Structure 1
Amino acid sequence: MNSSRKRNALLEDVQQPHPDHDRGLEFDLSTLMSRRSLGMFFGAGGAAVALAACSPGGLTTGAPSTAASTASASPTATPTLTRAIVECGVEIPQETAGPYPGDGSNGPNVLEASGVVRQDITSSFGTGSATAVGVPLTVTLTLLDNSNGCIPLAGAAVYAWHCDRDGKYSMYDSGLASENYLRGVQEADANGQVTFTSIFPGAYSGRWPHIHFEVFESMGNATSAGRVLAVSQIALTKAACDDVYATPGYEKSITNMTRTTLRSDNVFGDDGGIYQLATMTGSAATGYTAGLNVTV
C-alpha cells in the first residue's frame, strides 16, 4: 500500500466534526496501540496474484440483480465488468479504520457487546435508544478468498460502520457517546455474502462518502475483537450521492460534496476508488442498494 497518499491533511471547515478523522495509516499506527493495530495489516496477505489465477466467470457479485429504478444511479456494464475482473486477483486495498472504529483499538469496543451481530444496523442496541434517519441503504459485500482461487469466503465475518446523515459517528461524537447505531457484524453465507440494512451516510468535509468495514476469518474472531484479515472502505457513487443529498435532511452534504472528489479524497485518491467503488441501484425515493466484491 502506498502510504504517501495517506499523509494528506483534511480540509479545514467549521462544519467538520472530526479534525483527525481518516488522517491516514501513519496517524492510526501512532495512535491505535492495541493488538489489533498490527494484526489488521499483517493478516491481509502479500502482493496481488496475477489475474489469470482466477476466472471472473464464477464470481458471485454483491450487487442486486434487479435493474436500477433510475438510470442515473446505475453504472454502465463496462466499469462493473472491469471491477469483477480486477477483484478476482487483486486484494481489496488496505485502508485506515479512522479514529472512530469502535472496535477496541481506539477507545470503546462494540464488537464484544451482546446484540452487535445483526443485519439491520439503523438503531442502537443495548442501553442505546436512538435510530438513525435517512434514505434507506442496503449493502451487500461478497468476500472472495484470494489464496484459494477466489472462492467465496464462507464463514468469515464483517464488521461495518459509518457516519449518520449529519456526518457524525455513534460512540464518539457529542451527544452520541451512549449510542451505537450504524454499527454491526454479519457472518458470510455459503456464497461469501454479508448484507446490512442501514441508511445512506452523509458527506462531511474532507472525505468522499464512504462506509468502513473490517473482515475477520470467523465470527468468533469478530466478536472477540480478534485478528483482522482486511480493513477497507466502500466508496459510494456520485450519481447516488447527488440524488440522495438533494432530499431534506442532507443539506450539509451538498456543500461538502462540492469540495471533494474521488481523485482528491485522501483514501480513494490514488486509484480513483476503482477497487472500492460500489455498484449501486435504486433512488432516493425508494432507497438504494450497494454491492462490492471484496477479495482478501
Structure 2
Amino acid sequence: MTGTPAHKKSVTRRKVVVAGGAAVAAVGVGGALAMSASADETADTATGTGSSTGTGSAAAAGTGAEACYRLTSETTEGPYYIDADKIRQDITEGKEGIPLTLQLKVVDAETCEPVANAAVDVWHCDALGDYSGYESLSQGGGGAGGGGTPPTGAPTGTPTDLPSGAPPTGEPPTGGGGGGGGGHEEPTSDTRYLRGTWKTDKQGRVTFTTVFPGWYQGRCVHIHTKVHVGGEWTDTGYEGGHTCHTGQFFFAEEAVLLTEDVAPYSTSTTTRTKLTEDTIYDQSGTTGGLLKLKYNKNKISKGVVALITMGVDPDETHDGTG
C-alpha cells in the first residue's frame, strides 16, 4: 500500500451504548454440527450434511511476502443500517426461523494475521423479508410480517411524466425493500431484532446466534456486515475508529431451496431471486461473501452453521456509502 493510509484522511466517529446484559453467549446448533472457522479450513462435510460451494475461508492468493488472502468484496451499506445499535451476540429476539450460528473470522489480507478487538456488525431481514426498524419500508412477503397489505383493484387513468434515460442498476430504490443499494433511510420504528455488534477475539473470531434470513423482492438471501477497527471498547461500548469493510454474506441455492418448505418461510408470497440473479453478489464464491454451510439435508429446520473468513485491509476505509 502506498501513500497516506485512508483512515488518516477520513476517520469516522462511532459511539455505541451497551445494552443491558450485553455478554450473551452464542449457542451452537445441532451439537456435532457446530464448529469453528479457521484460515485453513477445507470444504469437506460429514455424511448427511449439506455444504455451500465456498470453503469457509478466503481463498489463499499466495505465500510468503505475497497477499495471504484475497480481499473480501466490498458492497454498498444499504438503506437499513443502524449504527451498532445493539452490543450482543444473540440477535434473535424471539424471531421465528431456522436457527443459524454465524461464525466469522477477520484477518489482515496482507499479513494473514487475525484482526483482534474489531467491532463486527451484522444485520438482516427476518424469515418473511422485513428489516427491524423499517417494517413500513420493507417488502416482506407473507402473513402479518409482510410489510403491509397490498392494494386492491386495478389502477386507472393514464400515467404522465414517464421516466427517461437508462434504467438504474443495483437493488430496488429505498422505500421498497432494497436492503443493499440507495441512500440511508432513517428508522421508522423502535424494533431492533436481527441486528447486533460484537468484538473479535485474539484469533479474529466472532460468533452470532440468529435465524436463517428470508427474502424480499429483488434480492437473494443475504446478511449485511461491517468491520470497524482503530476504536476502543469502553464501559459504554465501542468508540472511534473507522470502517475497514462493508460487505454481505450469501447462501448457496441448495440450502435456500430447503428452507422454502419450512415455516414461516413457506408462507412467503414473494418471488425469490436466485443467487445467480442477484445484482449485488459478484459470483466470486467465498471472496464475494459466499458462506460455507453445515446442516442436515433432511432436517435443515434443526439448524445451520455458517462460516467464513473475511480478508480485510485495516488501514483502508470502506463504509459502503460511496
Task: Please confirm whether the aligned pair reaches a TM-score higher than 0.5, indicating the same fold.
Answer: yes
Once the two structures are TM-superposed, the CA of residue 178 in structure 1 deviates from its matched residue by 1.6
Once the two structures are TM-superposed, the CA of residue 254 in structure 1 deviates from its matched residue by 7.7
Partner residue, 2:232? 220
Q: State the distance in 1 between where 2:68 and 2:268 align.
A: 34
Partner residue, 2:252? 237
Once the two structures are superposed, residues 102-146 of structure 1 have per-residue CA deviations (whole angstroms, 9 ceiling, x without a partner) of 12xxxxxxx2x5xx22110001xxxxxxx3111100101110112
Once the two structures are TM-superposed, the CA of residue 205 in structure 1 deviates from its matched residue by 1.5
Note if contact 1:167-1:204 (Cα within 8 Å) is conserved in structure 2: yes
Note if contact 1:63-1:292 (Cα within 8 Å) is conserved in structure 2: no
Q: Which runs of 5+ in 2 are unaligned?
A: 1-9, 13-36, 62-66, 137-146, 148-187, 313-322
Once the two structures are superposed, residues 137-159 of structure 1 have per-residue CA deviations (whole angstroms, 9 ceiling, x without a partner) of 01011101124x11111111201
**What does 1:1-296 correspond to in 2, within 5 Å?**
60-61=38-39, 67-68=45-46, 70-71=48-49, 73-75=50-52, 79-80=54-55, 83-86=58-61, 88-103=68-83, 111=84, 113=85, 116-123=86-93, 131-147=94-110, 149-174=111-136, 177-218=189-230, 220=232, 223-224=238-239, 226-251=241-266, 256-257=271-272, 260-269=273-282, 271=284, 274-283=287-296, 284-296=300-312
- Describe the SS at the equivalent of 2:278: coil
Q: TM-score, normalised by structure 2?
A: 0.60
Give me the identity figure in percent.
33
Return the structure number with greater relative CO, CA threshold 8 A, min gap 6: 2
Which structure features the higher share of helix residues? 1
C-alpha distance 84-179 of structure 1, shift in aligned 2 (>3 A): same
Q: TM-score, normalised by structure 1?
A: 0.65
C-alpha distance 199-281 of structure 1, shift in aligned 2 (>3 A): same
Aligned length: 219
Q: Which runs of 5+ in 1 are unaligned?
A: 1-37, 41-58, 104-110, 124-130
Root-mean-square deviation (Å): 3.2
Note if contact 2:51-2:293 (Cα within 8 Å) is conserved in structure 1: yes
